[in-house]
A and B are shown apart, each in its own frame.
Chain A
Amino acid sequence: MNVFRQDFPILKDPDYIYFDNAATAQKPACVMEAISKFYETENANPLRGLYKWSVMATESYEAAREKVANFLGARKASEIVFTRNATESLNLIAYSYGRANVNEGDEIVVAVSEHHSNILPWQMVAKEKNAKLVWLECDENGYYSDEELNNKITSKTRIVAIAQVSNVLGVPKPIKKIADIAHSVGAVIVVDGAQSAPHMAVNVQAMDADFFVFSGHKLMGPMGIGVLYGKHELLNDMPPFLTGGEMIEYVTRENATYAEIPHKFEAGTVNAADAVGLAAAIDYIKSVGFEYITETEKNLTALLMEEMRAIPHVTVYGSPKAKDHCGIVTFNIDGCHPHDVSSILDADHICIRAGHHCAQPLLQYMNVNATCRASMYFYNTEDEVHRFAKSLAKVREELGYGS
């Protein structure tokens, strides 16, 4: 039995197999307790109050920022902006940095394996500025060749947008190498870390990311808190995204001067309680340790892929190497629509994702309309993998095909 499972109230029902961790992770009790404790003992509007509770709320919120900065290896806490999720972080970069720095004729390089949230903001900037979107094409297993990187990232490139780990194929990218190419032509790199930050140790300085984003909820934190890391000098020069309360220095009838970063980008009352929840999730993930997480996921993935290979009519996408999946196994069963597969597995109390995974350009490239995706985390078990494979082997029969 996995020793960490008992930390998760929802996993106490042994009947359910949760294999949709790439969509959102389950929450350990300590995260929920941290949020309750905030509301029960120090709730007040942070950053403004001159009384004890508000000061405590401010301190907890800023301590959460410090924790995130440390977790990502940022130089200073002011390089961390809290948002709602990775999608909002990416939109902030596009609306603020993108619109201020991309001009007519410039190019924005986007990887074909991106989630829609790292595509649509750049489509918006490209259309508005008459700039060009240039696609990085991967091979059939999701890897990007050096040749492709060097051909597409050119002196016209202003921004390179790429996920550290794809949410469909799970393949990790050599971000440092891509960042070096981007920097050599004067571009910045925007790294979507939604699928990497929960699974591997991240160091934004080592990878030399200009921007790095992730969602708290995929890292066992609460829903509704996300992170944007940006290099100090970049954030400092960027115009605000949302305006209003909490982000100003001085306001007259016609004008305003803005607060220092990161507050410049945090208009309105901040989500302090969920920042505190995220800080608790980071403490928890550190106590588990990335070594354990990576190793467990790799072993579970290898076992799952091996069992799936033994089931006729099942196609697994992505790399043949289990370690290049980050717990994500995307697949199809001949003749079975992923929604039917997912419904049949649901009847056996197995939770997987089915559909286009918000990555339609990649699915079009893979020439499939939809796929099934099983995604595991360190709290999943070998027993769950066996039960999943057993159910999966019966899906075709349940859908009316002779076995």
Chain B
Amino acid sequence: MDLKEMYREIVNEHNLHPTHKHALDNPTLELRGVNPSCGDDITLQLMVENDMITDGAYVGQGCAISQASADMMLDLVIGKSKDEALKVADIFMRMIKNEASEEEIESLDEAAALQNISHMPARVKCAQLGWRTMDEIIKGTEN
């Protein structure tokens, strides 16, 4: 998939019509993630009950890739346990570094469309922002 196709087929929809871009009323977990050099800035909120992510949302601003990536991530992790969410985050991070297997990439569903970001070093941080932030909040609760 070339870059323009990636935008047309996946990124634009999640950027312009995100499912999860709103604030939750009483999130269990909340963390701000920022890419200082590009100005991508999101606050990720998760609702966690008995180690299950029952809901999630984000607010903020940034480029289409950062926003769409966070939206796709929430599609994928809502309904999963914290451990499962960390696992998909790990796969996503490795996919962006070109280190994940075909099978693993398929498990990322729509987010798999971002795999070509691995060839665009300047946009890697944008794609990772939501995932990195989720990884940090979940790991933060385990200490």
Q: Are B38 and A355 in contact (CB under 8 A)?
A: yes
B1-22 near A? 1/0 per residue, CB < 8 Å: 0111001100111011000000
- For residue B26, CB closer than 8 A to chain A, the reply is no
Contact flag A347-B37 (CB < 8 Å), given A337-B64, A340-B65? no
Whether B38 and A370, one on each chain, are in contact in the complex, defined by CB atoms closer than 8 angstroms, is yes
A325 and B121 CA atoms in complex are apart in Å by: 30
**Majority secondary structure of chain B interface residues (helix, strand, loop or mixed):** helix
Q: Are A343 and B3 also in contact (CB < 8 A) when A337-B63, A398-B8 are? A: yes
B57 interface residue (CB < 8 Å to A)? no
Is B61 interfacial (CB 8 A cutoff)?
yes
A347 touching B2 by the CB < 8 A rule? Answer: yes
Q: How far is the CA of A356 from the CA of B41 in the complex (A)?
A: 14
Q: Which residue from chain B places its CB closest to the CB of A338 in the assembled complex?
A: B63
Give complex CA distance A401, B7 in Å: 11
Question: Which chain B residues lie closer than 8 Å to A14 at the CB level?
Answer: none
Total chain B interface residues with beta-carbon distance under 8 A: 22
Hey, which chain B residues are within 8 Å of A370, CB to CB? 38-39
Q: Closest B-chain residue to A336, C-beta based? A: B64
For B12, the chain A residues whose CB sits under 8 A away are 399-400
The answer to whether A343 and B120 have CB atoms under 8 Å apart is yes
Contact partner of B16 (CB less than 8 A), chosen from A337, A343, A400, is A400
**Chain A residues within 8 Å of B132, by CB:** none
The reply on B97 being an interface residue by CB < 8 A is no
Cβ contact within 8 Å between B61 and A369: yes
Task: Find the A residue at minimum CB distance from B63.
Answer: A337
Is residue B62 within 8 Å, beta carbon to beta carbon, of the partner chain? Answer: yes
Q: Is A346 an interface residue (CB 8 A)?
A: yes
Q: A247 vs B13: C-alpha distance in the bound complex, in angstroms?
A: 61
**Residue among A338, A398, A399 with most chain B CB within 10 A:** A399
Is the CB of A344 closer than 8 A to any CB of chain B?
yes
A387 contacts chain B at the CB level, 8 A cutoff: no
| Interface status of A75 (Cβ within 8 A of chain B) | no
Interface residue ranges of B18-59 to A (CB < 8 Å) = 37-39
Shortest distance from the beta carbon of A336 to any chain B beta carbon, whole Å: 8
CB nearest to B3 among chain A residues:
A347
Q: Is residue A313 within 8 Å, beta carbon to beta carbon, of the partner chain?
A: no
Say whether A386 faces chain B, with CB atoms less than 8 Å apart.
Answer: no
B121 to chain A, nearest CB (A): 12
Select which of A336, A344, A356, A401 is within 8 A of B3 by beta carbon. A344
Assembled-state Cα–Cα distance A346/B121 (Å):
13
Q: A400-B12, A400-B15 are in contact. Are A340 and B63 (CB under 8 A)?
A: yes
B123 at the A/B interface (Cβ < 8 Å)?
yes
* Residues of B contacting A399 in the complex (Cβ-Cβ under 8 angstroms): 7, 12, 15, 64
Q: Does A339 contact B (CB under 8 A)?
A: yes
Asked whether, in the complex, the Cβ of B4 is within 8 Å of the Cβ of A344, the reply is yes
Question: How far does the alpha carbon of A399 sit from the alpha carbon of B7 in the complex, in Å?
Answer: 6
B residues neighboring A (CB under 8 Å): 2-4, 7-8, 11-13, 15-16, 37-39, 61-65, 120, 122-123, 126
A-B contact pairs, 8 of them (CB 8 A): A339-B126, A340-B64, A347-B4, A355-B37, A355-B39, A369-B61, A370-B38, A400-B7
Interface residues of A (CB under 8 A from B): 336-340, 343-344, 346-347, 355-356, 369-370, 398-401
Which 10 A-B pairs give the minimum distances between C-beta atoms? A400-B12, A337-B63, A369-B39, A339-B63, A347-B3, A340-B64, A400-B16, A340-B63, A370-B39, A347-B4
Q: Beyond the given A340-B7, A400-B7, could you list 17 further A-B residue pairs with CB under 8 A, ordered by the A residue number?
A: A339-B123, A339-B126, A340-B64, A340-B65, A343-B120, A343-B123, A344-B3, A346-B3, A347-B4, A355-B38, A356-B37, A356-B39, A370-B38, A398-B4, A398-B8, A400-B11, A400-B15
